[in-house]
Structure 1
Amino acid sequence: MALLQVVAALGVVWITGTVVRRLTKSSPLDNVPGPRAKSFLFGDMTNFFDRTARSFHKQLWDNYDGVAKVQTFMRAPLLYVWDPKALHNIVVKDQYIYEETPLFFKFSQLVFGDGLLSSGGERHKQQRKILNPVFHTNHMRYMLPTFYRITHQLRQALTNEVKDGKKEIDMLNWMTRTALELVGQGGLGHSFDPLDREWVNPFAELVKELIPTFAPMFIIIRLLPFVSEIGSADFRRRMIKLIPWKRLHRCLDIADALDTTSKSILAQKKSLLAQGDAAMEHQVGEGKDIMSVLLKANMKASSEDKMSDEEMLGHISTLIFAAMETTSGALARLLQLLAEHQDVQDKLRQEIIAARGDREVIDYDELMSLPYLEAVCRETLRLHSPATNMVRSTTKDVVMPLSAPIRGNDGTMINEIPVPKGTAVVIGILACNVNTALWGPDAHEWKPDRFLNPLPESITEARVPGVYSNLMTFLGGGRACIGFKFSQLEMKVVLSVLVENFRFTPSDKDVVWNWAGVQFPTVGKDGSEPRMPLKVELIR
């Protein structure tokens, strides 16, 4: 009790000091326009980060031009940025000044281990140097037979479900399990799910719960950098178990499941690798999966580039989560949009049938170059980017240039913004993707045909710094999504097989997509479980 009283007293002193500084100290950001905060203590944090935050973000997009200042905890300023020139500086030119936040690094390290998400600076560059070859297009070609085999298992399972007629099915569950199996076999040489029947895969459910479970704890998670060094890991674990909070215990279960599974996979891969190539060829992935190739490359790496087992475990956990969560959400959204736009679904089906002809599958180059399939995927990833925002923190004072001047609070025109060290800067991924100044007045409409024609000069001349199709969906610079080609291949294989064999129509359920680190659907705005039901019928 005495310790708690001391901690509470220190907390009061810290909060009081912070409030005084916020009220008395001027900032270079004072002139940046933004909404008036609804709460003195928490600012607009809830409005900005809550699962219902999309309407608040839409107001910012409509009322401000490329950048807005949002007040957060005790009036701390946050810069929300979707101006393309400013984004170029954040993710490319000054990317080592706009670094991931200490909170992000600590959270990623505790949940995923020492992987790409939890490393920064030179170590991050070294890790990507070893990882880049296994995500190259040439290696993706080896993935194609595996991806088709898994998707054909999915096709057979869905056929069994709807062979007697149209049926409502939770397609998010199927897309989650399929994405997990795709990354399992193609990425890790490990099978998680036979995809032979409708059931709830407990591991997939745990991983899928990560974002919805952690997201409401945002305020508590902010304390991680301060409390994560108190005592030993065993001490912290015992303290967590003493706290009567079911959600917190569930977070621990999710992190434990990722850690245990990653350790099991790594031990299995290392054992097979020690037995030689022959042993690898007879296992899932046939030794061509990403982790097998990475382990072999790591054995040949120089001592300064070689990755430890802890880093390997971190990469496995990160790959499982990132590849499963984002791809499953994107596929679910694609199927929902096709269900709502039968003309697009029919046109896409015709293209796929014509491309496959009398062959069993469409080969890699042809699949990746089908124009309408590409347009449907691009437009969906533009308008419904799975990840909506990314947060950075400035490691020193920096000047952020703007594509076009904005009017400051004092009425003057601002061409650049002095950003002090320690400022939170949010990369507006979705905000940039739907910026009407770049994409035109129909930027908020789903129109795949826009990618069948030359894009407007406003977008091509803006030089959006994303690695994919003038979009920020997969970010850009040194922390761009390393697996975006892997994800594209997954989506196109799954979509091509499903659309050719099944017709999707909307269910009578109200599906709501929730704003989060990665968007997720629920039935109803208050739904607690990620779900996305559609009606499915066999057409071939």
Structure 2
Amino acid sequence: MKKLCVSELLGSRTLDALRPIRRQERLRLVATLNEAAARGTIIDVSEELHKASNNGIIRMVTGMSDGGGVHEVRGLVKGVAETIGTLNLSDFVWVLRGVDVRGIKRRIDEVHRRFDEVLERIIGRKEEERRRGGGGGLGRAKDLLDILLEVAEDEKAEFKLTRENIKGFVLDIFTAGSDTTAAVLEWALSELINNPTIQHKAQQELDSVVGKHRLVEESDVPNLPYLQSIVKETLRLHPPAPISHRIATRDVKILDYDVPADTIVFVNMWSLHRDPDHWVNPLEFRPERFEDRVAEEKQKNLLHYAPFGGGRRGCPGASLGLDVLHMTLASLVQCFEWEVVGGRVDMEEGVGLTLPRENPLVCLPRVRLNPFPYNIHG
């Protein structure tokens, strides 16, 4: 599955083919914020970021249009995230084993049943399209589910994909690829609002490279090093997956601890990123640290900066995640100035698997660049 992800599902060719979907969702987000700015109304930016991120992932995986089907799946993705992140006493108190104290097992079973029904319906529709000779996806582009079904039907494939494999993979992509991206964007925008000098420097870079008469595009990102540094610094301070765990395959010594084989090892990625021995002022939001070539070498050669993990178990969706992060953040910075009540965003962290904000990011956007009229469906 890892090989399939890297070579086909999340490879550069597939991501390029699905670029129109990412662009449509980005334009839709900007249009929503533009409307709020025109009305002079405060908007829950957190909610809009999560909606755009979820919609994009769901459409890239299934090829769905942006109608009611996406809304239904988005609700189920939220249900999965909520049940995964809920503390279940039965898992920790032995005498409660087998007792559904808070009704969590019942909720998990219900979410599973509904998700399975939806995925069966989506897969069934895809299979009917394939029987009729249609390719699905956007024009000639295949979505991720098209590719999975092709592999499952290929008698010469290196391994056999079952229907349960496909549904499990789709569920993983839905849950892992949505909230993580939105959470990082929330933190990035929060840091920029609280650091206006950094935000202004990013806007100057965008004005210099892109200009003031068009919206930033993916092809501009290689020429926006400071924007890339802002994303890296956000991932360093606010890693979307703060806890990583591995199983030791042999007896090993980690620091001063003897770790036997088959032991589960938990790594606090958050502390790793803030290691004061390797970063100057580690708690300060300072994108300039990534303009330092020494810091770049640390990033490449050591695991002091590892927001996507490392080695064979590194996140296969890193390229997709970075594409969405760079483009969405660039659009938010290029098109809007941001006002918050009290003039400063609170940076309190919530509890969850993806290091969320404790409180939603609520802002009043002010139009800096109006990119419309733009064809959202183009």
Q: Work out the CA distance in 2 between the residues paired with 1:488 and 1:350.
A: 21
Give the paired residue count: 364
Question: Which structure has the greater CA radius of gyration?
Answer: 1
CA contact (8 A) 1:287 1:293 kept: no
Pair 1:218–1:449, CA change in 2 (3 A): farther
Give the RMSD, CA atoms, in angstroms. 3.2
Deviation at 1:211, TM superposition (A): 4.3
Question: For residues 380-529 of structure 1, what are the structure 2 equivalents within 5 Å?
Answer: 380-394=234-248, 397-400=250-253, 402=255, 414=256, 417-440=257-280, 442-456=281-295, 459=298, 463-465=301-303, 471-508=305-342, 510=346, 512-523=348-359
Deviation at 1:361, TM superposition (A): 4.9
Deviation at 1:245, TM superposition (A): 2.8
Select 1:159's aligned residue among 30, 34, 43: 34
Matched, 1:534 2:363: yes
CA contact (8 A) 2:36 2:365 kept: no
TM-score (norm: length of structure 2): 0.84
Question: For residues 229-244 of structure 1, what are the structure 2 equivalents within 5 Å?
Answer: 243=100
Whose strand proportion is higher, 1 or 2? 1
TM-score (norm: length of structure 1): 0.60
Q: Work out the CA distance in 1 between the residues paired with 2:220 and 2:296.
A: 28
CA contact (8 A) 1:392 1:424 kept: yes
2:199: which partner in 1? 345
CA contact (8 A) 1:259 1:317 kept: no
**Percent of aligned positions that are identical:** 21
CA contact (8 A) 2:245 2:266 kept: yes
Select 1:176's aligned residue among 50, 67, 84: 50
1:333: which partner in 2? 187
Pair 1:203–1:135, CA change in 2 (3 A): closer
Deviation at 1:295, TM superposition (A): 2.8
CA contact (8 A) 2:18 2:141 kept: no
Deviation at 1:485, TM superposition (A): 0.5
Give the letter aligned to residue 498 of structure 1.
Answer: L
Q: Work out the CA distance in 2 between the residues paired with 1:439 and 1:193.
A: 46
Q: Work out the CA distance in 2 between the residues paired with 1:321 and 1:450.
A: 31
CA contact (8 A) 2:15 2:320 kept: yes
Report the secondary structure of 2:74's partner residue: helix
Question: For residues 50-129 of structure 1, what are the structure 2 equivalents within 5 Å?
Answer: 127-129=1-3
Matched, 1:270 2:131: no
Q: Work out the CA distance in 1 between the residues paired with 2:133 and 2:207.
A: 41
Report the secondary structure of 1:390's partner residue: strand
Q: Work out the CA distance in 1 between the residues paired with 2:191 and 2:362.
A: 12
Deviation at 1:206, TM superposition (A): 4.6
CA contact (8 A) 1:439 1:459 kept: no
Matched, 1:296 2:150: yes
Q: Work out the CA distance in 2 between the residues paired with 1:476 and 1:177.
A: 29
